[in-house]
Amino acid sequence: MTEGVGKKMLYLASDHAAFGLKGELEKELDAMGVKYDDLGVHGGGRKADYPEFVGKAASKVSANPKSDRAIVMCGTGMGACIAANKYPHVRAALIYNDGTAALAREHNDANIACFGGREQDGRDVKRWVRIFLQTPFSGDERHVRRIAQIEESERNARR
């Protein structure tokens, strides 16, 4: 997904700690021609709880998990990842190098990438976002089987 056309949508969300990183990513996505919806926070001065903003993005992806994607951020990326993974059909991955950016998509069919505004350099994150958005799911049987097992666990946990 690099065009943001049709049913595909990319959502961005961050707390105050990653507001600057989100701004850097917006410029990169604009340069790539990727359409996105910025769900906040819309100012770096206000203290913001990441579950509120990450939840907005995860809820959107949860409704369209096969087509929509999100990039969510907090200070470390860990809280954002935990919060996003509470939503049905969301597979959020904490990305921290080129390999995890690619494997999150290839092996896990991740639909949300998580980053840490205080822990990660904007140049690296921009590269990882490109990799994440441009890498398809491999569709290999072992990965399909494992994702099905995760989804079954999710269904069982919600009963």
Give 136-155 pLDDT, tens digit per residue.
Answer: 999 999 999 999 999 999 99
Does the residue 3 lie in any domain? Answer: no
CATH of the domain at 153: 3.40.1400.10
Does the residue 4 lie in any domain? Answer: no
Q: What's the pLDDT band for 3 if we cut at 50, 70, 90?
A: very low
Q: How many domains does the chain have?
A: 1
Domain hosting 62: range is: 10-157
User: Are 144 and 100 within 8 A, CB to CB?
Assistant: no
Q: What's the pLDDT band for 77 if we cut at 50, 70, 90?
A: very high
- Taking CA atoms, 1 is separated from 32, 42, 66, in Å, by 11, 25, 11
pTM of the model: 0.93
Does the residue 50 lie in any domain? Answer: yes
Does the residue 53 lie in any domain? Answer: yes
Does the residue 43 lie in any domain? Answer: yes
Residues annotated as part of the active site: 74, 107
